[in-house]
Amino acid sequence: MGGGVVAAVAAPAAQAEAAPRQAVELADGWRFRFGDESGAVTGPGFDDSGWDQVSVPHTWNRIGGYGLERGPETNNKQGIGWYRLMVDAPAAAAGMRQYLDFAAVAKIADVWVNGQHVGTHKGGFARFRFDVTDVWKPGQPNLIVVKADNSKPEPDNASGQVLPLSGDFFVEGGIYRPVHLLQLPAASIDPLDYGGPGVYVRAAEITDAQAVVDVRTRLRNQGAARDLKLTTQIADASGKVVAQAVQPVHLAPGAAEMAARLTVPHPHRWNGRADPYLYSVTATLSGDGKVLDQVTQPLGLRTFRFDADAGFFLNGRHVKLHGVSRHQDWLGSGWALTDAQHERDMELIEELGANTVRQAHYQHADKWTELADKAGMVVWAELPYVTTPSLSGGKGSDSLWANADQQLREQIRQNYNHPSIMMWSVGNEVNAARGFGVKGKLPQSLPLLQHLNATAKQEDPDRPTAFADCCEGVGMMKTSGEKLAGTTDLIGYNRYYGWYYPKPLEVRAQLGVMLDKMHGAHPDIPISITEYGAGGAVTQHSDDVKSGFVNFVGRPHPEEYEAWLHEQSWPVINARDFVFASWVWNMFDFASDLRDEGDSVDLNDKGLVTADRKVKKDAFWYYKVAWSDAPAVHFAGKHYVDRSYPVMTVKAYANSPKARLTMGSKVVGEADCTDDVCEWRDVPLAPGPNKAVVTTVGGKESLTDTATWNGPDPQKGIRIDVGSLGTRDLDGHRYGSDTFVTGGTPTVLNLVGFGGRSLRPHRDVETANPQLFEYWREGESFSYGIPVPDGNWTVTLHMFEPDPKASDQQALTVTANGTPVIEGLNVQKAAGGPLKEVVRSFPVTVSGGVLKLDFASVGGKASLAAIEVTK
């Protein structure tokens, strides 16, 4: 389908340089307390001297940390937080109006001024303003009290009627974006239009010769009728006025709208990352020779369209959109971000080479979208209709629908003018209620999705609508069976092949089959991949990502596996032009109290960068190379310094045909760089530091990168945590991840889901080392070829029987280098029952540098938890 031609403008926040609009930031001097308070809390006589002193932006929540247990700084309390501020108000001329401007309060806000309730706002992500003139005292002290409520949604509480109702992210409470006092004359550009700027711009036509720009300016008069003048100007990036319209306005009491059409000759287009050129639009309302109000907004002129077969086109040129999703939290700051933190996020996304950002799963800060405009990012903007429309079944209540409609109108009006935004997403995984523990009758998600699609079209006919689907064709989650595809103009698929789904090692084939199938099933709908990825912990590592059990909600989450999954996924997406965009999930690790996984608590660890923005994971570097137009090279695995085995697979990312590896003074050789990945297998490591150098070969220029890996002393033994995807340190010894293996199947003792919900009955193994039995390998036959120096060794096997119904006829035979060392062992009998450890040791003599262990079982499967090879 074709996207409309839109002229977009940037953020709706008041511009300080565009005086005379007066905006006083109310940042300091607030008092805060979490918890219930008496009704007296809203009055001036209440004693808040014992409350915390805070500055706004502020949130009381602190969620997420790197470690295996929650730290003392954690605060995941949900409920009511109270804020009080005494303001020494500036003086105001007669007839001036006062407005309180809140950039966002989560999730429900009630506001009192001088003891009088002035309004309620429901929704944690949009700007809202209250006219407080009737209770405000210019030039005197004024008391502002705010109640912020982020209570966990329940069917019978207020939060249960406000989006979002559920989701894999934590809704933090507080006044987490800035607050301002606005002073405006009685006649002004409307500040009460769903929190929008009051000035709305679109391009009716864009050619090389001219751009025809329509500007709608909404006015509000709270005084007597007046004859005024509205001047609308468009200026280029240097500030030169290139178009102007002057209109007389007879402004009666109430609201009015003025329309102006301006022509920009030879327009300079906003052209994404290549050239994000911005004009500005200024609307000035004046009367009696004085400027009454003025609003300035950036303007980007561009055309775009989406084609179901050919993808996305910007200004007539095909652009493959590749980028990331982003949540708005930082470790330690939560949602209360500074401008500098927003800027750092955009810097990292630009460094990555992305050209698009998905705003997950709600309206983001004005500052963030301004940065997207200036960076040339194409933005998928999203409404927080997430997971379900109801916690008790059905299509959702009338009040929930009204709130959803309100939040969507706020989002569109407040962001209408951003050139970066090119689609309005009206939902994410809206039929995923079962996956998030919503019980009872399955909700009906389609009616609200249809309603919101219609609302978005009403608000903005030019931009296409979209939603992100979790479940079509997957079959892993029970839904109401509604057919959601086709409701919106565009669709995104959240698909986690290689992670949540069976047969993770088949990610390339599964992802490709799904994309082709969805394109065939919906040939007229442009499709995208709105989420894909895997967990990645920079302190957890794997020696072989293809051998261990992939524990998608748990531990370990090796950094190497996350990178491998992206290496498999991106070439599949890139090869299909009909996939108009893809967004990695996620740019940064982010807060979710449903998560206890990887090397963190209360964090979803699928980020390409850690939540504190300090560490770029291997997957970050993969995309930086793959998405770069310039020559690039980077070693993977730099964080895995202390290696478990005397051999390793060395991997580098390079966008050259070949690369050459040198270890120390020895040239290992050249490797092909297929899909930007170059690998050297079975590279020996000397004990101690091994300096590696990779050099690109055959590209436009020769580039190098270096890494140092510490090899173990193999004479001190080799240990394998069988079945595990990651390494483990236990009793002073390093156990490497499961590798050197052929056959069998890795499995896990206990598997949990979101929020710690058990996916299987809990089991414990009677053993002195229970950690070694969290994973194991089972099968009727499997083999290990372990690199072991020549000499005499002792092999110790840690085994058990996991199945209480196992046959007492099961018999295991083990051979070492072809010689039987264990014959006819029934593990369950030897242990005295299932889920009890059996240890067997035997001597071996190794020659040729490889220890070959073969496991064969009849009458049942062999189950092996660990191997130790020691002197």
Q: Is the pLDDT of residue 151 over 90?
A: yes
The distance between the two most distant Cα atoms of the chain, rounded to a whole number of Å, is 104
Mean pLDDT over residues 256-281, rounded? 98
pLDDT the model gives residue 437? 80
Amino acid at 56: V
pLDDT the model gives residue 314? 98
Mean pLDDT over residues 608-636, rounded? 98
The enclosing H or E element of 563 equals: helix 559-574
Query: Rounded distance, CA 197 to CA 180, Å?
Result: 15
Query: Rounded distance, CA 483 to CA 477, Å?
Result: 15
Confidence of residue 349 (pLDDT cuts 50, 70, 90): very high
For residue 506, give Cα distances in angstroms to 194, 569, 579, 636, 644. 48, 10, 20, 22, 27
String of b and e for 688-706 (b: at least 16 CB within 10 Å)?
Answer: eebebbbbbbebeeebebe
Q: Is the pLDDT of residue 7 over 60?
A: no
Q: Between 559-574 and 507-521, two packed helices, what is the crossing angle to 10 degrees?
A: 40
Query: Rounded distance, CA 683 to CA 662, Å?
Result: 10
CA torsion angle 412 413 419 421 (round to 10): -10
Q: Which CATH fold topology does 16-186 show? A: Jelly Rolls (2.60.120)
Predicted TM-score (pTM) of this structure: 0.95
Q: What are 826-864's pLDDT values in tens digits?
A: 999 999 999 999 999 999 999 999 999 999 999 999 999
pLDDT the model gives residue 8? 31
Residue 207, C-beta contacts closer than 8 angstroms, at least 6 positions apart: none
Half-sphere exposure of 330 (CA within 13 A, CB side): 17
Q: Is the pLDDT of residue 334 over 60?
A: yes
Q: Please state whether the peptide bond connecting residue 817 to the residue before it is cis, i.e. omega within 30 degrees of 0.
A: no
pLDDT the model gives residue 11? 32
Amino acid at 541: H
16-186 and 714-870 in the same fold:
yes
Query: Rounded distance, CA 347 to CA 341, Å?
Result: 10
Residue 236, C-beta contacts closer than 8 angstroms, at least 6 positions apart: 242, 268, 279
Mean pLDDT over residues 333-347, rounded? 98
Mean pLDDT over residues 123-136, rounded? 98
String of b and e for 735-764 (b: at least 16 CB within 10 Å)?
Answer: bbbbbbbeebebbbbebbbbeeeeeeeeee
The separation between the first and the last C-alpha atoms of the chain, rounded to the nearest angstrom, is 69
Q: Is the pLDDT of residue 18 over 70?
A: no
pLDDT the model gives residue 330? 97
Domain boundaries 305-507+525-539+578-595, corresponding CATH code: 3.20.20.80
Instruction: Tell the CATH superfamily of the 714-870 domain.
Output: Galactose-binding lectin (2.60.120.430)
Query: Rounded distance, CA 62 to CA 44, Å?
Result: 30
Q: Is the pLDDT of residue 14 over 70?
A: no
Handedness of CA 600, 602, 606, 611 (dihedral sign): negative
Mean pLDDT over residues 280-303, rounded? 96
Query: Rounded distance, CA 864 to CA 249, Å?
Result: 84
Domain boundaries, the chain: 6-10+194-303, 16-186, 305-507+525-539+578-595, 647-711, 714-870
Nearest alpha carbon to residue 726 among 803, 640, 789: 640
pLDDT the model gives residue 73? 93
The angle at the Cα of 254, spanning 251 to 258, to the nearest 5 degrees, equals: 50
Among 20-29, 175-184, 356-365, where is mean pLDDT lowest?
20-29
Half-sphere exposure of 703 (CA within 13 A, CB side): 18
Mean pLDDT over residues 805-830, rounded? 95
Mean pLDDT over residues 778-801, rounded? 98
Confidence of residue 20 (pLDDT cuts 50, 70, 90): low
Mean pLDDT over residues 463-475, rounded? 94
Domain boundaries 6-10+194-303, corresponding CATH code: 2.60.40.10
The answer to whether 653 and 625 are in contact (CB under 8 A) is: yes
Query: Rounded distance, CA 13 to CA 379, Å?
Result: 19
Active site residue 429: yes
For residue 768, give Cα distances in angstroms to 73, 774, 836. 33, 13, 10
Burial of 283 (0-12, 13-18, 19+ CB in 10 A): buried
Handedness of CA 530, 532, 538, 539 (dihedral sign): positive
Q: Is the pLDDT of residue 5 over 50?
A: no
Q: What are 403-445's pLDDT values in tens digits?
A: 999 999 999 999 999 999 999 999 999 999 888 888 888 999 9
Q: Is the pLDDT of residue 10 over 80?
A: no
Q: 658-663 and 647-654: which strand pairing? A: unpaired
Q: Between 366-375 and 339-352, two packed helices, what is the crossing angle to 10 degrees?
A: 30
In DSSP terms, which residues pair with 201 in a beta bridge? 215
Token pair of 427 as six digits = 């939902």
Q: Is the pLDDT of residue 3 over 60?
A: no
Query: Rounded distance, CA 167 to CA 472, Å?
Result: 18
Among candidate residues 172, 370, 410, 429, the one labeled active-site is 429
Q: What are 707-734's pLDDT values in tens digits?
A: 999 999 999 999 999 999 999 999 999 9
Mean pLDDT over residues 24-39, rounded? 96
Q: Is the pLDDT of residue 668 over 80?
A: yes
* Domain spanning 647-711: CATH 2.60.40.10: yes
The angle at the Cα of 468, spanning 466 to 471, to the nearest 5 degrees, equals: 135
pLDDT the model gives residue 441? 86
pLDDT the model gives residue 185? 96
